[in-house]
Each structure stands twice: as structure tokens, then as C-alpha cells.
């Protein structure tokens, strides 16, 4: 028999409605949705008869040159085709019951406009409701053009199979190997062929032609074992796969070529002969032994314009097409399986802690991190969900949330701390040590979610925020410097808003309504129309018009005039550097600004409202809406002016489109970390992003853990985590880990003040149980009580230092339990890594299994003043609050504008539970003064100011940058940590 693609009389099929064709290679490219239709093909296997004579006539064809073809028996194989179609249809139906959102799609790339192959595949695909796209390139298309189309199909998530219907000369090694193996349903790529030969059939696609030939051989003779099959002609993947699989069935496979002198003898000895290629070469019927199966498989591309399709050819083509669609369905099945949650196969990195503990940077550099794509694969991320930034960090696409939307969340753990002191409590190191213990030692999936550090403090006084000792995120230089550019994106977006504000005020002050309107709504090619963001502004003004020519003069004035009051602009520029001289500046001094001078200032970039929005948004659409709602100032008539009014919110979303994706990194022990967002913990909520937490909770699985950290003490970071972040995310925590240190508790218990970098007073070096007890019964007890206000169990993590005595450690753990902690555990992760946090990990695991009754501290509909009072009294321990006249006026204004139902984000010192930084322990008997109240409408909270809050740090006399340098030969950074 012959297998070939022959020209048919059918016309090109129309493009599916709603999917217009695209010009490709000068020919049309369109998607076809194939309707189901009845099967009408007949499959004929011709076998040489024992009674064959050269004089018998072939009833199906005329002999060339007046000669008669040999008489043949017919073996009509309706069954094979029906069976393949039926089994494929049943498989497809079962898959569609699992997921009907995606229809599998077969893409055919061919040279020329021959529709015969499309027609046959369309008919087969129609029986199982498979979609087809045909891409017709020019007959003389180049390798580059083919590769370009293949690469497009590789990245098209709708395509589940690619059929390269091209001349053999076009199927170069480059073309074959650029095709993704999972879409190579013809089984011709090197990787696919290698797997097939090796016998690894779990991911392999058997070429449809090979499957059809094997099917016919089996139908011809059910007992194949020991039979000999001769393959004549043909080279490349098809012949190789056919030989390999024939031998696997127990038959012997011999190879010969058309020019072999012994071809006749080999043909006469074979039980079956498969003729590959060389369609114009005839084999005399007398060469075949009686009863032998003869299958002719011609080239897949025919150049003979006058060739005529024969029933036998059509039958084999239909069977091959049926197997091709079956491979597409198999590919679709594998794709669906890949979309499901996959158990972790985490390979942890071994630590060899040294004594004494080296510097943080030395420890970081001594460990070689895994390639980020390896880490991603280990935790169940797909390659297309990763955007690598170098070798050790990558952005993770939010599409993971859609893929795993049915996957149950893991357990949610918050790491908070007692009121911080200049000595530092180590929340970040506890967070990292805990996840190292959970994943690397207890073999429980866990993710750390951390904030991105600001460059300002890194070069100023604080240093990095990657943890420390043997509980770090690596590489720590990358963690602390630039990372993936999110803060730079925020800086660009924030300053675009600032530029838009000043530009708009200038143009409004120097132009008439008509001139402004003509420039804001210009005529382009004689057509004037509003942009979508301008139509949104018209709707907010109550103007339901879309034709600029129909606006009245008053409507034009209302539209073009934002009329910002320079004294009530709340938006400032930002830069991610500590620069005290930018706290107050004057802009507009150039003569070109026509006297539009005003005072303003800079904040540090992480204090921008855009940073808070990044941390609280739960999708790209949500972030875009929040950016649009940002209030930048007030008009002279007292109305809020938003970023959307300025027409800039769409551009902000463009600048932030990559920043919204969390960055994947790893700990020293190779466990995963999401680094995302870094809002201030005083004027903002001081927590990493909602999106990072949501992604991590899906990835860890039902029994896994996501550990995230809140800024400052539990009275600030934890309270805002619960009342603001949990409201925005809808997530509910299972456990609070409260970090404490012996020396910080001594300070809260009445110990002397300390300064960073200065020698420690003796009280903090020698054992002092009295000071420890005082700190436990005051600050530690109060912070445990705060967590209990929200109905969440508390595990105290005592971060152990070498100056701590065993008696002090035991005393802290004892009092913590007496004060209501579920458990209290000493931790030595700084010196030992995850091994030093194993007991904490066990305690957290146990606490997470206990029932919790999470609740918010206040009802969101309470008046603003009452929400502030609730926090002051229940969290800080104040007797009452005192509102300044300015604060009361702002509250009245926010109520009038409809902002009264927003949560509260208190801005107060982190150094005390009260507003007085020097008051340690748990102060009582004070009134909390509220000097001002401001709003971050886009972020979605009201922030009262308690005392003076600096949003632009300054550099000390000797900043950290004095010690930072770069070796130009090795590019090694020195002095950073």
C-alpha cells in the first residue's frame, strides 16, 4: 500500500468565527473548530496471494503500459480505525469532564496550500471535537521561517500538538529540536526518539505512521513473534522508530535499500515488507512470498500535481490521522496532569557550621545555591511560570494561582516580636531558621515570605535584611542590592505621578479652558475622541457623553480643571537613598515654570503608597484599581484628586506589571523563599505581599507551612498584619511565633539604655534573672496578650545568644508558658542553621493543629475615632486618645468623602508600646496623642500620626558605604556585611 498526502478537490476551510486568519508566509493562517462527523473511510491491507499470476488484472487500477497488475486479496480493516477513534473519543470525554476550560489544539505547519492533509485530519479531529490550526508557509520557505513558526507554537499554551507536514529536506536537526518534546506528537525530535529507543515510553510519542503500520501488521497476523519484517528504503526518525518498535513486538526487523543487489532475495524471504519512500519504484509482485503483508508508505509530501487518491491510500491516511489525534489527546492529558499540584521533591543543601561563626557574607559565599529553575521544579512550579533574573533568582508569574486554585492552602504562620531594642531581636533569622528546620530537617514543605530591604538603610546604618549566621537568604548581596528592580519600578511610578501633578498645575494656570481641552483631547487625522481613562473621569463628573463636540462650556471646564490646591498636595517624590536634605525642597524655580513654585519634599521609596499597594494587591487588576484610587491632593473646592483624574493610572500599571510578581530565592539550606514588597512598618503596614503569601500557600500544599514576618513589634507589625493585611487577603493565620531575646527582655525589665555599636553594659553580659523576669512579666506578657486578642495561639521563640545562661533561658520559657504561650522554645539557628530550630518547628507544627478562633480587633464599620481608640486601649494599653484639632478636621473630611470604613494603620514609634520611645516594658496610665490623620486611599487605610514620623532617613557621620567596595578583577563585593 502507499501512504501519501494527495491533492483533493476540497476548498480551503473557512476560519472559525471570532478567530481571524493571520497572514503567515504570504498564506492564510486560521483556527478551525472541527464539527463531529461520521466515519466513512475504508482501510485495505493488500497481501500477496499464493495464486497470484502476472496475468491477473487489478480491479482497482489500470496497469501501466498495458501490463496487468497482480491479483490481490483484500483485507478490509474497518475495526482498527473504529477502535482508535472510539478509544480516543472516550479519553477526550473523560478529560473534558475534568477540565472543560481548554480545548486541545493540533497545529499543522506545511509548505504550500495543499488542503488534503488538513481535510483528513479535520475529519478525524471532528469525531473527538479536537481543534485544528493550519499554518501554510511558502513552498520555498526557509529554515528560519519554519523555526519562527515552531517557536510561536511552543509558547502558545492552547496548542497541544504540532505536526510538521514538510518535505524531508526541511526537517533539519535545528527544526526538529526547536520543537518542544511535549508538543512533538509526530515523535520525530531527537529527545523523543532517544526516549523511544531507550524504552522510556512514559513521555514519548510513538509516530502515528509507525503505530498505523504496527496495527496493520498485527491485524494481518495476530501471531507476530518470530516473524521477519523487511524495511525497504527510508531514513531518519520514522524508519528508526519503526525498526525499534517492530523488534519490541518480538518480530525481526531487517533493513535494506532500493539499490541493494540482494533486494529480491530479501523481499522473498520476509513475512512482511514495508516500503518506505521512493513511490515511483515498483516492486514486481512475483518477489513477494505467498501470504506476505505488503505496506507501502510513501513520502508525506507529494509534488505530483496529477496524483489521484486511491481508497487504500485514504484508508491508511485516516488511520494515521486517527493516531495523530490520539497523540494530541495524550499530550493534552499530560498537560492537564502537569497543571495539577505536584508533590515537592526538595533537595536540601547541607550545612557545615563552623565555630566561631564566620561573618554573614563569608557564610553566604561558602554555600553554592541551587539554580533557580532547579528549585522551581522541586517545588512544583512549571517552566513557563518562571522568569529568571540570572542564576539564583526569578520572578514567579501569578498564573500559578489560577492553575492551583482548587489546591487547599497550607498553614499560615506569622513571625512577630516583642518591642524591639537597638540590640535587635532577630525576627528575620528566626523566620529563615524555622523554614530551614521545617523543610530540610522535618521534611515538611515550607516557604518563607520576606520583605525586600531598602537600599537606603543598607548603605546607611542598618545593613542588610537577609537574616544572619547560618539562617540566611542567599546570595545575600543580590537580596540586599536591587534584587529584581521592584523598588526602582516603584520609584519610577511614584515620580511619574509627581511630575504629572506639577505639569498639570502649570498648564491649568497658563491656559484657557478651550486651549486645555484642545490639548487634552487632540484631533488625530481629523478625529477627536476621549481616551478610556478620560471617559472614566467624565463618568465620575456625572457627564454621560462620549463625543467631545457635545460637551457644554461648563462641562469642558469641569473636565479640564483639576484645580489642585498647592497647599494640600499630599504626594511627594521618592528616592531609595537616605538623603536628609531632600526632606523639604522647593520646586518650580526655573523661569520656564512661570512662577509655579511650591514647597514639597522626598520620601524614601519604600514609604511610597505604591509600595503599600504592591503589598496589599491580590491581582494585577486589583493593583490597577488601587493605583487609580490614590488621592494625590485636594482641589480648592475640597474634592479629592486621584491618579486616575490625572490620567496617569494606566501608565503606573504598566510600570508595575513586573513588580507585582514575587521573587523566588532560597535559604542556605536550599529551601524556597519569596521576597516581595517592603512597606514601612510605621506609616504603612510593614508586611510582605499578599500575593507572595497566597502563591506560597498553594505551593506548600495542605500540610505545608508558609512563614511570613511582620515589621517591628507585635503591637505594630502584627496588629497591622491582622487588621489590614488579613482583611485584604482573606487569609487566616494559624500560629504566631513571638521572637524574644534575653538581653532585650533585660532592657524591658529595667536595664540601662544601649546604643548600636557601643559596648554592652555589664547587665547584658552577666546573668541577671531579676531583669529577665521583669521584661517577661511586662513586655513579653503584653505581646502574648495582644496575639490572643485575635484568637491565635502563640509560640515564643527565644533567640539565644552566647551571653545567655541556661537559668535565664529556662526562666523565659517558663514565664512565657505561664503568660499563655502554647510553648516557648530556645533557638540556636544563627549558629546551627535549621538544626537549631527543630524544636521550634515541632512546636509550631503542634500549635498549628490546634483549633483557633481568629477574629479582627474591631468592626470595619466603626467610626474612625473609635477604631483608633480601640487600638490604643487594647493593644498599647493607653487610657484614652487625644485628637488634635487638625486630626479631628481630617477625620471629619474623610467621613465626608466616604472613607470612614477603611481600617486603621497607626503610625507611632516602634521603640515602645506607648508613644514615648524611652518607656520600655508595658507602660500604663498614658493618653495617646493623635497629632494628625492621613489617608492612603489606594492602599486602603487611614493612618493616624502619633508624634513625628520621618519618611526620609538621613545618613550618619560614618555610613556603611565607607566599608563597601568592589574588586574589579573578581567582581567580589567587600564590606557590605
3 state SS for 411-465 = EEEEEEECCCCCCCCCHHHHHHHHHHHHHHHCCCCEEEEECCCCHHHHHCCCCCC
Strands 131-137 and 105-111 turn out to be: parallel
Q: Tell me if residue 429 is catalytic.
A: yes
3-state secondary structure of 904: strand
Query: Given 451, 504, 626, 720, which residue is catalytic?
Result: 451
Q: How far apart are CA 76 and CA 679, in angstroms?
A: 74
3-state secondary structure of 941: strand
Catalytic residue among 288, 447, 712, 977: 712
**Catalytic residue from among 289, 462, 568, 727:** 462
Residues contacting residue 639 through CB under 8 Å, at least 6 positions apart: none
Q: Compute the distance between CA of residue 954 and CA of residue 944 in angstroms, rounded to an integer.
A: 23
Q: CA 415 to CA 434: how far, in whole Å?
A: 10
Residues 678, 690: Cα–Cα separation, whole Å:
12
287 is catalytic: no
Q: Which contacts of 826-829 are long-range, i.e. CB under 8 A and separated by 24 or more positions?
A: 826/798, 826/800, 827/430, 827/433, 827/797, 827/798, 827/799, 827/800, 828/800, 829/429, 829/430, 829/432, 829/433, 829/434, 829/436, 829/437, 829/469, 829/470, 829/471
Asked if 451 is an active-site residue, the reply is yes
Relative to beta strand 72-76, strand 44-48 is antiparallel
Of 325, 429, 671, 708, catalytic: 429
Q: Between the CA of residue 645 and those of 195, 528, 538, 954, what are the distances in Å?
A: 59, 20, 10, 34
Asked if 935 and 902 touch (Cβ cutoff 8 Å), the reply is: yes
Question: Taking the CB of residue 467, how many other CB atoms lie within 10 A of it?
Answer: 31
Catalytic residue status for 801: yes
Query: Which distant-in-sequence residues (6+ apart) come within 8 Å of 436 by Cβ?
Result: 471, 667, 668, 669, 671, 829, 833, 834, 837
Of 830, 926, 941, 977, the catalytic one is: 830
List the catalytic residue out of 437, 465, 681, 878: 681
Backbone φ/ψ region at 191: left (φ over 0), alpha (ψ -120 to 50), beta:
alpha
How far, in Å, CA of 313 to CA of 273, rounded?
16
**Per-residue CA distances from 686 to 681, 731, 864, 924 (Å):** 4, 17, 21, 25
Identified catalytic residue from 370, 427, 746, 908: 427
Residue 462 a catalytic site member: yes
CA atoms within 13 A on the CB side of 138: 8
Using DSSP, state whether 105 is helix, strand or coil: strand
E-state strands within 828-890: 880-883
Q: Is 345 a known active-site residue?
A: no
- Which residue in the list 75, 258, 801, 854 is annotated as catalytic? 801
- Which residues are 934's β-sheet partners? 943
- The residues annotated as belonging to the active site are 427, 429, 451, 462, 681, 712, 801, 830
Amino acid at each position: 500500500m502507499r501512504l501519501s498526502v494527495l491533492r483533493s478537490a476540497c476548498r480551503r476551510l473557512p476560519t472559525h468565527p471570532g478567530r481571524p486568519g493571520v497572514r503567515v508566509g504570504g498564506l492564510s493562517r486560521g483556527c478551525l473548530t472541527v464539527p463531529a462527523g461520521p466515519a466513512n473511510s475504508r482501510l485495505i491491507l493488500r497481501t500477496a496471494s499464493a495464486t497470484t499470476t502476472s496475468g491477473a488484472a487489478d480491479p482497482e487500477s489500470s496497469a501501466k503500459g498495458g501490463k496487468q497488475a497482480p491479483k490481490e486479496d483484500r483485507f478490509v480493516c474497518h475495526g482498527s480505525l473504529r477502535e482508535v477513534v472510539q478509544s480516543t473519543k472516550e479519553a477526550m470525554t473523560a478529560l473534558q469532564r475534568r477540565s472543560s476550560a481548554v480545548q486541545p489544539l493540533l497545529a499543522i505547519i506545511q509548505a504550500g496550500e495543499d488542503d488534503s492533509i488538513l481535510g483528513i485530519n479535520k475529519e478525524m479531529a471532528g469525531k473527538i471535537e479536537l481543534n485544528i490550526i493550519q499554518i501554510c508557509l511558502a513552498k520555498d520557505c526557509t529554515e528560519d521561517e519554519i523555526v519562527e513558526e515552531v517557536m510561536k507554537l511552543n509558547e502558545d499554551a492552547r496548542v497541544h500538538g504540532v505536526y510538521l507536514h514538510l518535505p524531508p529536506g526541511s526537517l533539519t536537526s535545528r527544526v526538529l529540536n526547536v520543537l518542544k518534546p511535549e508538543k512533538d506528537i509526530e515523535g520525530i525530535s531527537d529527545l523523543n526518539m532517544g526516549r523511544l529507543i531507550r524504552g522510556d515510553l512514559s513521555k514519548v510519542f510513538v509516530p502515528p505512521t509507525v503505530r498505523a503500520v504496527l496495527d496493520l501488521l498485527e491485524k494481518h497476523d495476530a501471531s507476530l513473534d518470530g516473524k521477519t519484517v523487511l524495511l525497504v528504503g527510508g531514513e531518519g526518525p520514522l524508519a528508526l522508530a519503526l525498526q525499534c518498535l517492530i523488534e519490541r513486538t518480538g518480530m525481526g526487523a531487517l533493513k535494506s535499500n532500493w539499490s541493494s543487489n540482494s533486494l529480491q532475495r530479501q523481499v522473498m524471504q520476509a513475512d512482511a515488507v514495508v516500503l518506505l519512500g521512493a513511490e515511483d519504484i515498483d516492486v514486481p509482485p512475483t518477489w513477494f512470498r505467498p501470504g506476505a503483508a505488503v505496506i507501502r508508505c510513501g513520502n508525506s509530501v507529494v509534488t505530483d500535481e496529477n496524483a489521484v487518491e486511491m481508497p487504500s491510500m485514504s484508508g491508511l491516511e485516516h488511520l494515521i490521522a486517527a493516531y495523530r489525534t490520539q497523540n494530541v489527546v495524550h499530550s493534552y492529558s499530560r498537560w492537564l496532569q502537569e497543571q495539577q499540584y505536584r508533590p515537592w521533591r526538595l533537595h536540601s543543601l547541607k550545612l557545615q557550621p563552623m565555630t566561631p561563626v564566620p561573618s554573614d557574607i563569608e557564610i553566604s559565599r561558602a554555600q553554592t545555591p541551587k539554580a533557580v529553575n532547579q528549585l522551581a521544579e522541586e517545588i512544583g512550579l512549571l517552566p513557563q511560570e518562571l522568569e529568571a533574573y540570572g542564576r539564583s533568582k526569578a520572578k514567579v508569574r501569578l498564573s500559578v494561582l489560577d492553575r492551583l486554585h482548587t489546591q487547599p492552602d497550607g498553614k499560615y504562620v506569622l513571625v512577630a516580636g516583642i518591642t524591639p531594642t537597638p540590640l535587635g531581636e532577630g525576627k528575620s533569622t528566626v523566620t529563615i531558621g524555622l523554614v530551614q528546620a521545617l523543610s530540610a530537617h522535618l521534611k515538611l514543605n515550607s516557604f518563607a515570605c520576606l520583605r525586600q530591604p531598602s537600599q537606603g538603610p543598607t548603605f546607611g546604618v542598618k545593613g542588610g535584611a537577609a537574616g544572619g549566621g547560618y539562617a540566611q537568604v542567599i546570595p545575600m548581596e543580590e537580596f540586599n542590592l536591587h534584587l529584581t528592580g521592584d523598588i526602582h519600578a516603584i520609584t519610577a511610578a511614584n515620580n511619574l505621578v509627581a511630575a504629572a501633578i506639577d505639569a498639570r498645575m502649570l498648564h491649568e494656570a497658563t491656559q484657557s479652558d478651550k486651549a486645555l481641552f484642545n490639548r487634552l483631547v487632540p484631533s488625530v487625522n481629523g478625529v477627536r475622541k476621549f481616551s478610556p481613562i478620560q471617559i472614566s473621569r467624565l463618568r465620575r463628573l456625572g457627564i454621560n457623553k462620549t463625543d467631545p463636540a457635545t460637551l457644554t462650556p461648563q462641562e469642558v471646564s469641569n473636565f479640564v480643571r483639576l484645580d489642585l490646591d498647592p497647599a494640600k498636595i499630599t504626594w511627594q517624590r521618592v528616592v531609595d537613598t537616605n538623603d536628609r536634605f531632600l526632606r523639604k525642597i522647593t520646586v518650580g524655580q526655573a523661569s520656564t515654570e512661570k512662577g509655579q513654585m511650591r514647597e514639597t519634599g522626598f520620601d524614601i521609596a519604600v514609604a511610597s503608597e505604591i509600595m503599600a499597594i504592591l503589598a496589599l494587591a491580590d491581582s494585577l487588576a486589583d493593583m490597577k484599581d488601587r493605583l487609580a484610587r490614590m488621592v494625590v491632593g485636594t482641589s480648592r473646592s475640597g474634592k479629592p484628586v486621584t491618579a486616575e483624574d490625572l490620567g496617569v493610572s494606566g501608565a503606573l500599571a504598566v510600570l508595575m506589571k513586573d513588580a507585582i510578581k514575587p521573587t523566588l530565592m532560597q535559604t542556605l539550606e536550599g529551601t524556597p523563599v519569596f521576597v516581595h514588597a517592603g512597606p514601612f512598618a510605621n506609616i504603612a503596614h510593614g508586611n510582605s505581599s499578599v500575593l507572595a503569601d497566597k502563591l506560597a500557600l498553594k505551593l506548600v500544599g495542605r500540610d505545608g507551612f508558609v512563614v511570613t514576618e511582620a515589621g517591628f513589634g507585635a503591637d505594630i507589625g502584627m496588629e497591622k498584619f491582622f487588621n489590614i493585611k488579613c482583611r485584604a487577603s482573606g487569609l487566616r493565620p494559624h500560629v504566631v511565633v513571638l521572637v524574644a531575646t534575653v538581653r532585650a527582655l533585660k532592657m524591658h525589665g529595667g536595664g540601662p539604655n544601649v546604643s548600636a555599636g557601643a559596648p554592652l553594659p555589664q547587665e547584658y553580659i552577666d546573668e541577671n534573672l531579676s531583669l529577665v523576669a521583669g521584661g517577661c512579666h511586662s513586655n513579653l506578657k503584653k505581646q502574648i496578650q495582644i496575639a490572643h486578642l485575635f484568637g491565635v495561639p502563640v509560640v515564643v521563640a527565644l533567640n539565644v545568644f552566647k551571653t545567655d545562661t541556661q537559668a535565664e533561658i529556662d526562666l523565659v520559657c517558663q514565664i512565657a508558658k505561664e503568660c499563655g504561650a502554647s510553648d516557648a522554645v530556645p533557638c540556636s539557628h544563627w549558629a546551627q542553621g535549621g538544626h537549631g530550630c527543630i524544636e521550634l518547628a515541632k512546636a509550631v507544627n503542634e500549635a498549628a493543629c490546634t483549633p483557633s478562633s481568629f477574629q479582627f480587633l474591631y468592626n470595619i464599620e466603626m467610626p474612625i475615632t473609635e477604631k483608633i481608640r480601640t487600638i490604643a486601649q487594647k493593644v498599647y494599653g493607653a487610657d484614652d486618645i487625644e485628637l488634635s484639632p487638625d486630626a479631628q478636621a481630617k477625620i471629619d473630611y474623610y467621613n465626608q468623602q466616604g472613607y470612614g470604613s477603611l481600617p486603621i494603620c497607626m503610625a507611632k514609634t516602634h521603640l515602645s508600646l506607648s508613644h514615648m520611645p524611652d518607656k520600655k516594658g508595658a507602660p500604663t496610665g498614658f493618653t495617646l496623642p493623635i497629632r494628625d490623620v492621613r489617608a492612603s486611599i489606594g492602599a486602603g487605610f487611614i493612618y493616624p500620626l502619633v508624634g513625628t514620623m520621618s519618611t526620609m532617613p538621613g545618613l550618619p557621620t560614618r555610613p556603611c558605604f565607607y566599608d563597601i567596595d568592589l574588586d574589579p578583577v573578581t567582581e567580589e563585593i567587600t564590606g557590605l556585611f
